Amino acid sequence: MNALKAREIVDRTLYAGETVLAFSAATDTDTQGLTFADSSPNFWIAVTQSRFITVGEASGKATSSLLLEIKVAEVKRKLFGGSLLHFDPSGLGPGLGLMTLKVHDKDAAKALPALLASRAQAPALPKETTSYTSVTVKSPPHLVPFLGEESEEFLCTTCGGNCGGTTKREATVYPECSACMRSVIKPDAPEA
């Protein structure tokens, strides 16, 4: 995935008035952690006024975390290794939630410390809703025993992010889209 495609994915998640303040390719240098969605350690990262967004190179999916709620987000500079971002949105620690991302863009690496240091003052996102559409996807061969041959995914109609899915005939709809963080309503439900 190139920078243009990754930026397009990030831009679809933005709210009116929200802008990308830093954007960079990044590589997860912590290879001991669990990998769920991506089989690649390569990501694209973006920081807005309210969110930290990652886009997985392998999945092409965005995931957002509110700056206000991130437990660990700090940049450490190495003399010859560039800038490393220690990112752990839920505070689960090494092996479960911690990512150590090598930030490739020098301008983004310089901007990140100030942006992340002020995250306690990050503005809240506006209250917006989205719906979802259902798509059938073939399961990767290594997940067929757990998910079956095919599964159903619920994709956000606003940004294309993940809103849930059906696994082994059990449907789960998330309360908010994992990419844009808009509240999810059923496609036929009236807006509040």
Please report, to the nearest 10 degrees, the dihedral formed by the alpha carbons of residues 182, 109, 122, 98 taken in order: 70
Q: 87 pLDDT exceeds 90?
A: no
Instruction: Enumerate helices (H) and strands (E) in the chain, giving the number of each.
Output: 3, 13
Q: Quick one: three-class SS letters along 7-28?
A: HHHHHHHCCCCCCEEEEEEEEE
**Single-letter amino acid code for the residue at 38:** D
pLDDT band at 50 (very low <50, low <70, confident <90, very high): very high
* Residues 62 and 161: beta-carbon distance below 8 Å: yes
Distances in Å between the Cα of 95 and the Cα atoms of 35, 91, 125, 189 are 9, 11, 30, 40
Residue 155 CA to residue 166 CA, distance in Å, equals 12
pLDDT at 169 (0 to 100): 76
* 154: Cα separation from own chain's centroid: 16
Query: Can you spell out the DSSP letters for 30-51?
Result: -TTS--SS-SSSEEEEEEESSE
The domains of the chain, with CATH numbers, are: 3-121 (2.30.29.30), 129-184 (no CATH)
pLDDT at 38 (0 to 100): 46
- Provide the token pair at 158: 């606003």
pLDDT at 37 (0 to 100): 47
∠ CA 36-39-40, nearest 5°, is: 125
Predicted structure pTM score: 0.85
132-185 tens-digit pLDDT: 999 988 877 777 777 677 788 999 999 999 999 887 778 899 999 999 999 999
pLDDT at 148 (0 to 100): 72
Residue of 59, 61, 66, 32 lying closest to 161 (CA atoms): 61
DSSP 101: E
* Residues 177 and 184: beta-carbon distance below 8 Å: yes
